Amino acid sequence: MLKKTTSFTAGFLFLFLGFHLVKSQVFVKNDDQRSSSRESRNIVYFSPEIYPNVSEIKDATYDAFFSAVSDRFMHSKTSRMVRVDMPVLYENTDQQTIREICLNNNAAYAVIPQVKFFKVGLGQFVFSSQVVVSMKLYDANGNFVSESSYDTFKKNARIIGSAQNSIKIGTTGALKLMSKDFKKTK
């Protein structure tokens, strides 16, 4: 009996000292330690330009748009979304402004979005829930990289549903198209 106890104690002591010497007590590093070795890329998203310019739909459109973008970046370990609440014209972008904002936010890219609502009916405020979400991608120097557009009516043939849901679907579709285009150009 003494022989078994002695051999068990010696084996356990040998195993414990072996773990201690090779520092194998740290089995898994946490996410902060793993991600610090990789370079994190920030991507600046400006507030979307909304057409038609009606103040009643702006807040709901901003919330739906940024909800879809943040859902897309939720599981990304290398890229982070940086929201900039600054209106930038979709058609006439200033290269210097994009460069400064990317520099201040340590961003590699900037995205300028636009959300167009289809107007249906005779009244001034009659809209359908169909939207076209367009995005332009610029690098940190303000150079144009890519452009994508997603029409919720043509792609999904959505006739019913809320405008917020259409904005989320359009934003997700435009982001997917932009990432495909970006991978092709790389």
pLDDT at residue number 136: 95
The band of 73, judged by pLDDT with boundaries at 50, 70 and 90, is confident
Residue 36 is predicted with a pLDDT of 45
Q: Which DSSP string corresponds to the chain?
A: -HHHHHHHHHHHHHHHHHHHHTTTT-----HHHHHHSSPPEEEEEEEPEEES--HHHHHHHHHHHHHHHHHHHTT-SSEEEEEEEEE--SSS--HHHHHHHHHHTTEEEEEEEEEEEEE-SSSTT-EEEEEEEEEEEEETTS-EEEEEEEEHHHHH---SS-HHHHHHHHHHHHHHHHHHHHHHH-
Report the share of the chain in percent with pLDDT over 70: 73
Question: By the 8 A CB rule, do 155 and 91 touch?
Answer: no
Supply the pLDDT for residue 114: 94
The larger pLDDT score, comparing residue 96 to residue 77, is at 96
8 A C-beta contact, residue 132 and residue 150:
yes
Choice among 10-19, 26-35, 98-107, 135-144 with the minimum mean pLDDT = 26-35
- In this prediction, residues 42-57 reach a mean pLDDT of 89
Question: So what's the pLDDT on residue 79?
Answer: 84
Architecture of domain 39-185: 2-Layer Sandwich (3.30)
Whole-number Å distance between alpha carbons of 172 and 148: 11
Confidence of residue 125 (pLDDT cuts 50, 70, 90): low
Judged against a pLDDT cut of 50, whether residue 77 lies above it is answered with: yes
Question: Does residue 17 carry a pLDDT above 80?
Answer: no
Averaged over 106-133, what is the pLDDT? 80
CB 43 within 8 A of CB 145: no
What's residue 118's pLDDT? Answer: 78
Residue 39: its pLDDT value, please?
Answer: 60
17 vs 58, which has greater pLDDT? 58
Give the pLDDT mean for 152-163. Answer: 73
